[in-house]
Amino acid sequence: MTDLNRRHLLAGAAAGTAAALTSFGAPTARASVAPAGAQAPGFYRYKVGNYECTSINDGARSFPLPDTFVTNVPKDQALAAADAAYMPKGMVTVPFNPQLINTGSKLILIDTGNGVANLEATKGAVGRTLQNLAAAGVDPKSIDVVLLSHLHPDHTNGIRAADGSMAFPNAEIMVPSVDWAFWTSDENTAKAQTNEMMKNYFANVKKTFAGIESKVTKYDWGKEVAPGITSIATPGHTPGHTSFAIASGNSKILIQSDVTNIPEFFLRNPDWHVVYDTDPDLAQATRHKFYDMASAEKATVVGFHFTFPCIGHVEKDGAKYRLVPVAWNPVI
């Protein structure tokens, strides 16, 4: 199969000598290269007009599909959708992707991922936002605004560093006023104690924002919450769930946040309900409204739970929708 050449002969001779000296197994023709054992950094840059945006991968979690992951269809239908998307057998894979927007005057991080505290516990599956920001050359101290779409843990918990201090110490933390009112209400917290998931959500908001409540800025819908960034009402997933339009020059993209959870399930089947929705019927209505608008506009849509780099176009496909991911651009 191979021709011996001078290099092979020399390497063989050297290996032979080493083997004679150490007696460690059979000599090989030459030293092999150790596997790297790690993935490439998970960041991807794209332009919106004059704005330089970066999709930051916080990771992806695969877990056995819970019986109730989709609340309104039989589990075998959900399993079939996972299988059709080549997810690991019997499992579902959920990715997480915050977005960094450099407007030229402000550096804005939209959502923060699961938090670096989860990195070790998940064997590196999630909590990668800080390391992928570092790979992209971004100093957490340089971030001016952390703009949260809603107050679920996979979006908020990255505001804390591993030691509990603020991961983005110079950033203003902006939250949707409706979500803030909902998740910090003592009355709502009390009502949620019988539902394990909701109970944990309320406890997580309390813990995550403990001591910084007064530093949090509340924003409303339909406002320019940061330069060129407009908040869009997309309630249902949570009461104050928010999407964003990013506009610069003649360009615009839509950051959908969690209008769907994973598109393989809920964009293909917009009437399926994910267990995490506070008001699944409203989330479903929001989904149709948002995607009908996005597909009519041929808008570029960024999805927090789309697979990295999590950017694509949404098209109507009868009563369903389909996602056409963007092609990787080697230059920006």
- Beta carbon nearer to its own copies, 89 or 186: 89
Strands (E), the chain: 43-48, 51-56, 59-64, 91-96, 99-102, 107-110, 145-147, 172-176, 216-219, 224-226, 229-233, 242-248, 251-257, 300-303, 311-317, 320-325
Site for its own copies (CB under 8 A): which residue of 20, 21, 36, 296?
Answer: 36
Residue type, 247: A
- Beta carbon nearer to its own copies, 28 or 193: 28
CA 294 – CA 321 distance, rounded (Å)? 11
CA 70 – CA 272 distance, rounded (Å)? 6
Nearest to 292 by CA among 267, 312, 255, 311: 267
**Minimal distance, residue 152 CB to its own copies, in Å:** 20
Site for its own copies (CB under 8 A): which residue of 12, 144, 230, 247?
Answer: 144
Q: Which stretch binds its own copies (CB under 8 A): 137-145, 177-185, 195-203, 283-291?
A: 137-145
98 near its own copies (CB under 8 A): no
Cβ neighbors of 133 (< 8 A, separation 6 or more) are 43, 56, 100, 140
> Two tokens at 134?
């570092």
Q: Count interface residues toward its own copies (CB under 8 A).
A: 70
327 near its own copies (CB under 8 A): yes
Site for its own copies (CB under 8 A): which residue of 105, 165, 194, 250?
Answer: 105
Site for its own copies (CB under 8 A): which residue of 20, 21, 38, 296?
Answer: 38
Residue type, 309: P
Q: Which residues bind its own copies (CB under 8 A)?
A: 1-3, 5, 7, 28-30, 32-33, 35-45, 52, 54, 57, 59-60, 85-87, 93, 95, 102, 104-107, 123-126, 128, 135-138, 142, 144-145, 170, 172, 215, 217, 219, 223-226, 307-309, 313, 324-332
